[in-house]
Structure 1
Amino acid sequence: MEEMETNNYFESYEDLEIHKLMLEDSARNLAYKDAIFNNKQEFLGKTVLDVGAGTGILSVFCAQAGAKTVYAVEASDTYKIAEEVAKENKFGDVIKVIHSKVENVTLPEKVDIIVSEWMGFYLLHEGMLDSVIAARDKFLKVGGLMFPESATLFATPCSVPSMYSFWEDVNGVSMTHVGPKLRAKTCQKPVCERTHPDCLLSDADNVLWLDLREVTMEELNKIEVRHLAVANKKGRYEGICLWFSCTFPSTTVEPVTLSTEPDEPLTHWKQTTIVLPSSLEVEEGSPIAYDLLLKRSDENARRYIIEVTMLDPSEVEHPEYCLCHLTKCILVRAVLDKYEKGDMECAENK
């Protein structure tokens, strides 16, 4: 069964519509191109491994930056297109396309740089990072570079108009009976759609930070966090919005970051929302507590089970300087502000 699911995964990437969607994503493409071209001195005359090369655009960027050899590994039949793209751009001698899973590849040498666009919805979906880690451990030279070199997953409570308020007035017709039926299905799996920045109810929390030079596959099996968010506006708490960012290495200029945050240019990843079964009105300053669990599926290692547990904010620990409107937090802030003011006055008197 596992082998069949793996084969289905690679076969899905033989659909050119999927590649068209990714190649039309200018934010994605230009982030990689800028990161590579900003580091031409690191690519000049070096060996590069492109994990999951697809149609080969990243391999061409590396060759254009001066790489001596690019090993473009692609397990699906799209490798044939990568070969054609390499020849079309006159890099047929530089880009060596290899039709294989990277786990099964044997290279004649270690590589200086690994490049890969491995990110899935909510960062971890599809589990391609496992292949990148395997390639890193097997092929990357000591001190070699990873593009990207780090990734961060963020979460924040949000409203979900497409699942709630939209059905209150569909061109003058109330259809609130449709919403619950739709939510009954969407509560079973995340929704990948664009989230407007106005729908976010609090500042983002950091769910996960990955150093791609060191992270292990085992660390990706289960991610469990508890968050206490504070609403920065009045609104409806109807879901948890997830997005990610990736940062590339740089030695001479400010590092390039590819972000899928709602107020950044739209990417094909959009945002991922876990829709809650009911809507809850919150005021500015309201505490919102929840547990978030991402666990690798036992049936398919390329998929994750995501669970959100809503908690009573009065029963969880709040940070020392919490900005929520609960009485205990207001009192703690007042005491801390008093001591801080006293410390400043003492410093000024000295």
Structure 2
Amino acid sequence: MEVDDPNDLYFKSYEDLEIHKLMLKDEPRNTAYREAIFNNKADIEGKVVLDVGAGTGILSIFCAQAGAKKVYAVEASSTYRLALDIVRENMVENIVQVIHSRIEDVTTSQIPEKVDVIVSEWMGFYLLHEGMLDTVIIARDRFLKPDGLMFPESAGIYATPCSVPSVYKYWENVNGVHMESFSRLLREQAYKKPLTEKVHPDCLLSQGEVVSWLDLKEVTKEDLNEIKFSHVAVATKESTYEGICIWFTCTFPFQKGPSSVEPVILSTEPDEPETHWKQTLICLPNSLKVEVGSPICYDLVLKRSEENSRRYTLELSMLDPDEVEHPEFCSCYMTKCILANAMLEKYERGQGDGAE
């Protein structure tokens, strides 16, 4: 039986106008890119830009408006036709050249020069879903000048334990009906397949920790095959531990100097304005009560699928706090950490007392 090419299915999915409508109505997303581009106007004026996965062409048009000399807008799906219309509608067709192709198939006659800037909105759920960063890496290695800029230039994945009332608490009373049986099936499903939904900041049980930090000028495709993260989180409130919340941030270049501004950061953290990415939730099969100071230990693995390189499996393993090494200055309530912190504090005070 002939199996559809995952890449063909991926590009086909982006012919759906509803997907582009969702992205174009994402105000934090659009604002972050526009501000980042215009804040770096001096590095874009008169320069050559490559827009990878241009979609409707909005980022290409931002660059043209910021003074780019030439913008190559590469789009593999049939959405390129819409991009052509929007480019003409904004009267920048003398600057923006829409190319209907995959980056891997672009020829030197289509892009005959190295570019000064690469701009791309490649992020998927939990950052890596859809695997489009692979394409950006290929574009970087083929077309970007050694001193060129990337928008964004770095990205981070974060995680923290959380409660998940939409899967647990809500089903305790649905208009007077207890639905634990339904909730149990929902949890089993949500444990096998992560959820995408808005998480209220009050549901987070501790500070977010960096799972992975990617420098987009240096990262390789091989670096993305598997990301492993082990963590001892410490609960900052009395609540229920019901899952792991995952989000990402992207940081854009910024001009350094007397008139420099803070770098633009696009964040999908729960306490930031909602984006179409929302947050990713891995749910536990059972709810666990935690107190202030409770250690929550887990391993998280993001692994590229062997069948479809555009997809990842997310594996969560709960660990026994007694059997894992806790970080220095761990603030959990376990005796070994309390004693270790007391000894460290005593040692530091001793150093201070002996100082001349």
Q: Give 1:346 deviation, angstroms.
A: 3.2
Deviations along 1:263-294, whole A, 9 cap, x unmatched?
Answer: 00000000000111111101110001111111
Equivalent residue for 1:173, pick from 170, 177, 180:
177
Deviation at 1:67, TM superposition (A): 0.2
What is the CA–CA distance in structure 1 between the aligned matches of 2:23 and 2:87, rounded to whole Å? 18
CA contact 1:2–1:299 (8 Å) conserved in 2: no
Counterpart CA distance in 2 for 1:202 and 1:155 is 10
- What displacement does 1:307 show? 0.3
Give how far 1:335 is off.
1.1
Aligned counterparts, 1:15-26, within 5 A: 15-26=16-27
Q: Which residue does 2:346 correspond to in 1?
A: 338
Q: 2:284 aligns with which of 262, 276, 284?
A: 276
| Counterpart residue type for residue 308 of structure 2 | N
Q: In structure 2, what residue type is equivalent to 1:334?
A: A
Whole-Å separation in 2 of the counterparts to 1:173 and 1:208: 43
Please name the residue that 1:37 is paired with.
38
Amino acid corresponding to residue 32 of structure 1 in structure 2: Y
| 1:86 aligned partner, one-letter code | V
Segment drifting more, 175-184 vs 233-242? 175-184
Whichever residue aligns with residue 306 of structure 2, its letter is: D
Q: Which residue of 1 aligns with 2:195?
A: 191
> 1:54-98 deviations in whole A, cap 9, x for unaligned?
000000000000000000000000001111111111101100000
Q: Distance in 1 between matches of 2:172 and 2:62?
A: 49
Percent identity over the alignment is 65
* Alignment of structure 1 residues 35-74 onto 2, 5 Å: 35-74=36-75
> Where does residue 307 of structure 1 map in the other structure?
315
TM-score (normalised: structure 2): 0.96
Deviation at 1:181, TM superposition (A): 1.2
Separation of aligned partners in 2, 1:104 and 1:313: 50
Map of 1:225 onto structure 2? 229
5+ residue gaps, structure 1, are: none
| Residue matched to 2:206 | 202
Aligned length: 348
DSSP-derived class of the 1:41 partner: helix
RMSD: 1.0
Alpha-carbon separation, structure 2, partners of 1:171 and 1:94: 59
Deviates more, 1:18-27 or 1:163-172: 163-172
Q: Is residue 247 of structure 1 aligned with residue 248 of structure 2?
A: no
Matches within 5 A, 1:316-331: 316-331=324-339
Query: What is aligned with 2:167?
Result: 163
2:328 and 2:201 mapped to 1: Cα distance? 28
